[in-house]
Structure 1
């Protein structure tokens, strides 16, 4: 998140353990080839090997799996991308990857190109990557839902001896990966009654420039934006909470209640620290709130105690919990489906 003031950090120690799985044949996230994936995520006792476990014990139908998540995360956080700094060669490679996922999963460009060049960035060329999935309902397709995350990070850090690349796994390859998994799902299911814009923003770390640019551009088009749902730092689970994610601006709308009803559980909750540090204004939801005055909020699991590598070179993929991330994707899909296909606009500001 942009300019979060960190009060107390402690590194979350995550155990390693194998996962008992059933198998199903589905689509690879990047090339649509048939692959075998997990159908049940049920961690076995820690044996010191295998993928990290978030302690999940419930069965779930796994459209997304830890392997799906890992494949995307390892590319986005690879040293080849040099920390995905805005305007860099590395972030251009990330944009190519995102575009490839869109193309292979029936997500068309919203504009003439997937690359939406920022008009408010002067230090070189920067662009959002913006995909579009038209709605299937004759009336509701005119209403738009934006599902977004920023894909940039802070690039190279000076003064580092061993490693100077800030790979940005939790911030925000985790949110980018989550949105790409949603695009893969909805792009292949094709049952979204409302239209969906999948927006991966650049220059978030420069002051939310990518989302500000896109919000203003879409406002000029006078689109009927229903809600903007943003995903930020969802790579590790929260500590000692009775919900999986928190919502910035929790008290401003009924989005948490609507989300929990469609998730059929207490999936989204309130984090006091998010309100204390006004995280509602510190991520890419804010420009859409400003431009459209519709519910525009961010889902996150960064709780100020579970991740100590924010804006450090240690924000590596090896610290991410892929079982947790896959579970978030799978449990968010019915929530998104409910919001996208509801016959009325249920999500409202209070």
Structure 2
């Protein structure tokens, strides 16, 4: 993510844990990259679950984030062995939960000079014969910077908040819609590489989908949602607040105020510094980023201490569950109710 020079130091927006156990399988080398959950690792929601406020389960969120932010993944730098492990983990989760690859495989590959990067793209087709032709994208970046300034012998920039947290949220919503099949519109679940190199992964995917003449309705990018805001603030905020009616519509769908306005977002031009921007730029549709990081509640941007033990899993679980009716309302609205404010 691009950095802004503020008061003599770099800050950026949206821009620790023990290693997971990997079971070695010499017959299928890719399987060696996937942590093997046991019954005690992951809890599945009851098939009878109807209360969306309790759909996502803390232990599942914790399990996924601890692996993605583990030292084993070496900071998930694009082109590294660590990001390959992260990609396989996400693909495995998608496959286990019947989330289909959007392309021939889950990977949307691209080149940055000699580096090969790949976005991970799964989808769930809409259940309405007409609305399924309209697309909603939910995204986050799963890459990070690899290493950072050494502190007490640690150089791994684990990227728990930035942006394993958003990645896990997108994975949880993918599982929800795969299980409930409640989406009238088709939903793409997109995890981007090379965000830290200047939004290269999301930029590639946006142009590719634009060339396919996709009827893209809305796009939301989730960035750094691992820590809570102050009790006096709304749970999250949205960038480009004044550009569309998305904030008001999401809150109406959720039947509570979840996302609001952050003054610094406009002052720091944050709308253009996260993976929503390439989709807005290509399609000129409501495409925003949502975050709970607000420059006051997390000190470890691009730092070796951006680790899983700094995340608030109760907050993450609550946010993911509270967003379900908001997302469902957007995905299932009978018409394109979310519009740019200049329309």
Could you tell me the TM-score, scaled by structure 2's length?
Answer: 0.86
Any idea what SS the aligned residue of 2:53 has?
A: coil
Q: 2:74 aligns with which of 47, 70, 82?
A: 82
Q: Distance in 2 between matches of 1:296 and 1:340?
A: 14
Aligned to 1:13: none
Q: 1:134 aligns with which of 98, 101, 125?
A: 125
Alignment partner of 1:316 is 2:307: yes
Aligned to 1:113: 105
Aligned to 2:84: 92
Q: 1:177 aligns with which of 151, 162, 168?
A: 168
Kindly report which structure 2 residues correspond to 1:325-344, keeping only aligned pairs within 5 A, or say none. 325-344=316-335
Any idea what SS the aligned residue of 2:62 has?
A: helix
- Evaluate the alpha carbon distance shift between residue 296 and residue 317 of structure 1 in structure 2; reply closer, same or farther with a 3 A threshold: same
Kindly report which structure 2 residues correspond to 1:1-350, keeping only aligned pairs within 5 A, or say none. 1-5=1-5, 35=43, 61-119=53-111, 121-350=112-341
Deviation at 1:161, TM superposition (A): 4.5
Deviation at 1:35, TM superposition (A): 3.3
Deviation at 1:240, TM superposition (A): 4.2
Q: Distance in 2 between matches of 1:159 and 1:269?
A: 36
Conserved in 2, the CA contact under 8 Å of 1:9 and 1:307?
no
- Structure 1: 5+ residue stretches without partners: 11-29, 39-58
In the TM superposition, what whole-angstrom CA distance separates every residue of 1:18-55 from its partner, at most 9, and x where no partner exists? xxxxxxxxxxxx979783779xxxxxxxxxxxxxxxxx
Conserved in 1, the CA contact under 8 Å of 2:52 and 2:325?
no
Deviation at 1:257, TM superposition (A): 0.2
Any idea what SS the aligned residue of 1:250 has?
A: coil
In the TM superposition, what whole-angstrom CA distance separates every residue of 1:298-345 from its partner, at most 9, and x where no partner exists? 000111100000111111110100000000010000000000000000
Q: Distance in 2 between matches of 1:217 and 1:178?
A: 24
Could you tell me the TM-score, scaled by structure 1's length?
Answer: 0.84
Conserved in 2, the CA contact under 8 Å of 1:285 and 1:298?
yes
- Evaluate the alpha carbon distance shift between residue 112 and residue 6 of structure 1 in structure 2; reply closer, same or farther with a 3 A threshold: farther
Deviation at 1:6, TM superposition (A): 5.2
Q: Distance in 1 between matches of 2:80 and 2:288?
A: 28
In the TM superposition, what whole-angstrom CA distance separates every residue of 1:188-229 from its partner, at most 9, and x where no partner exists? 111210001100000000000000000000000000000011
Q: Distance in 2 between matches of 1:32 and 1:346?
A: 43
Q: Any runs of at least 4 consecutive aligned residues in structure 1 with deviations exceeding 4 A, and if so which?
A: 4-10, 30-34, 158-161
Conserved in 1, the CA contact under 8 Å of 2:125 and 2:132?
yes
Conserved in 1, the CA contact under 8 Å of 2:150 and 2:304?
no
Greater alpha carbon shift after TM alignment, 232-241 vs 128-137: 232-241
Aligned to 2:24: none
Q: Distance in 2 between matches of 1:316 and 1:194?
A: 35
Deviation at 1:158, TM superposition (A): 5.0
Q: Distance in 1 between matches of 2:6 and 2:255?
A: 33
